[in-house]
């Protein structure tokens, strides 16, 4: 053989054993080109039924699965959305609302074929990590859940400077150029509740608040007291250190020791209210006859207390849905808007 050319001819290695089957393998088996395979893979038109059929069979017989990274590189879309927590996860899990939030978001996103990435950003380093992560192009969009934590504004501006759509859950507390957000408007529900208290004839109500540094924590109390100025004396507003049942119980005990002259209490969350009821039970006080109790959130626990809680429903599920709806607009290169979902009184037995 006249094999004068010693150049190591490009080895036609059919397929390294360990390697995954690629679009090219499928093409060979189906007797078509890569381009065509790509077309049927993405459901594009302009492919004859029989070719499509042949490709489909080839894909099945070879056990082909499209490679995510290659796809992302070519399309510059990842199919991932970041769920960024502005607080350590434990804090988040205290509140049953977040379980629903996460679940609904996951579901809605899955329906659009997006997957969720869970990131925490409660410290400076974590925030930097998140910012980098986002700019590296790991995700197509961001949902930011800040539980009123400090130092969030840096993250937000970093997010803004990146190209990808980001939306906040709850009011982002930044002066200059806030993110679009979705938040529940506590005001209408809290007002309705205040009027309900008035209608019931209560004369003196205490408020167990929490996280007064957040918009949510503030507005509930403000709207309630604003609607019924005479009902709540300033010194009857007590702040629990967290939205937990234990904290509610503790607060109520304190209240009972120092202010026995109240006939009703408004707790800024159902968990707080449940704790308050616990304390009232301890003290052999009948709810609502001697002291009425109302909560906020209408979370699952509202129907598990005895008596069941009169409360204000903020549909976290709706918030979640609005969140993805806006995000979807953003992903579609549209301009996202901020949306406020209303909140509503739910009268049960405790007040």
Partner DNA sequence: CTGTTAGCGCGTTCAC
Partner DNA sequence: GTGAACGCGCTAACAG
Contact residues toward DNA (CB under 7 A) are 8, 10, 19-20, 22-24, 31-36, 38-39, 41-42, 46-48, 50-52, 64, 66-67, 70-71, 73-76
Q: Which residues bind its own copies (CB under 8 A)?
A: 18, 20, 65-70, 72-73, 76, 78-80, 83, 88-90, 92-93, 96, 98-100, 102-103, 106-107, 110, 115-120, 126, 129, 132-133, 135-138, 163, 244-246, 278, 281-282, 301, 304
Is 92 or 268 the residue whose CB approaches its own copies more closely? 92
User: How near is the Cβ of 138 to DNA at its closest, in Å?
Assistant: 13
Q: Which of 351, 271, 343 lies closest to 307 in space, CA to CA?
A: 351
| CA gap 14, 34 in Å, rounded | 16
First-last CA distance in the chain: 100
User: How near is the Cβ of 336 to DNA at its closest, in Å?
Assistant: 23
| CA gap 131, 137 in Å, rounded | 10
Partner that binds at residue 133, options DNA, its own copies, none, CB closer than 5 to 8 Å by kind: its own copies
User: How near is the Cβ of 77 to DNA at its closest, in Å?
Assistant: 8
Is 19 or 50 the residue whose CB approaches its own copies more closely? 19
CA 58 to chain centroid, in Å, comes to 41
Partner that binds at residue 116, options DNA, its own copies, none, CB closer than 5 to 8 Å by kind: its own copies
Partner that binds at residue 93, options its own copies, DNA, none, CB closer than 5 to 8 Å by kind: its own copies
Is 140 or 186 the residue whose CB approaches its own copies more closely? 140
| CA gap 251, 269 in Å, rounded | 13
**DSSP label at 297?**
B
Long-range CB contacts for residues 216-222, cutoff 8 Å, separation at least 24: 216/148, 216/170, 216/171, 216/183, 216/184, 216/186, 217/148, 217/268, 219/185, 219/186, 219/187, 219/190, 220/186, 220/190, 220/268, 220/296, 220/312, 221/190, 221/268, 222/190
Partner that binds at residue 47, options its own copies, DNA, none, CB closer than 5 to 8 Å by kind: DNA
User: How near is the Cβ of 234 to its own copies at its closest, in Å?
Assistant: 30
């Amino acid at each position: 053989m006249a094999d004068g050319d010693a150049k190591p001819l490009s080895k036609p290695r059919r397929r390294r054993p360990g390697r995954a089957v690629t679009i090219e393998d499928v093409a060979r088996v189906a007797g078509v080109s890569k381009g065509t395979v790509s077309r049927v893979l993405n459901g594009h038109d302009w492919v004859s039924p029989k070719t499509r059929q042949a490709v489909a069979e080839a894909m099945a017989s070879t056990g082909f699965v499209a490679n995510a990274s290659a796809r992302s590189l070519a399309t510059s879309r990842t199919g991932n959305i970041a769920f960024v927590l502005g607080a350590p996860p434990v804090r988040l899990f205290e509140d049953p609302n977040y379980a629903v939030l996460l679940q609904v978001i996951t579901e809605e996103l899955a329906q659009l074929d997006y997957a969720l990435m869970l990131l925490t950003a409660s410290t400076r380093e974590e925030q930097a990590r998140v910012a980098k992560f986002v700019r590296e192009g790991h995700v197509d969009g961001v949902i930011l859940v800040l539980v009123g934590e400090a130092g969030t504004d840096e993250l937000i501006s970093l997010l803004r400077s990146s190209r990808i759509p980001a939306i906040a859950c709850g009011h982002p507390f930044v002066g200059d150029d806030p993110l679009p957000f979705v938040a529940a408007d506590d005001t209408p529900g809290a007002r309705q509740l205040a009027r309900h208290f008035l209608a019931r004839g209560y004369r003196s109500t205490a408020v167990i608040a929490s996280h007064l540094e957040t918009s949510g924590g503030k507005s509930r109390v403000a709207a309630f007291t604003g609607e019924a100025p005479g009902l709540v004396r300033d010194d009857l507003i007590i702040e629990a250190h967290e939205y937990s049942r234990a904290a509610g119980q503790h607060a109520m005990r304190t209240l009972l020791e120092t202010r026995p002259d109240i006939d009703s209490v408004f707790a800024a969350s159902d968990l707080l209210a449940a704790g308050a009821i616990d304390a009232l039970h301890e003290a052999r006080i009948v709810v609502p006859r001697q002291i009425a109790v109302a909560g906020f959130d209408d979370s699952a626990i509202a129907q598990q207390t005895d008596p069941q809680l009169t409360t204000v429903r903020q549909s976290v599920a709706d918030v979640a849905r609005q969140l993805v709806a806006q995000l979807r607009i953003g992903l579609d290169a549209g301009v996202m808007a901020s949306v406020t979902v209303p909140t509503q009184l739910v009268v049960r037995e405790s007040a």
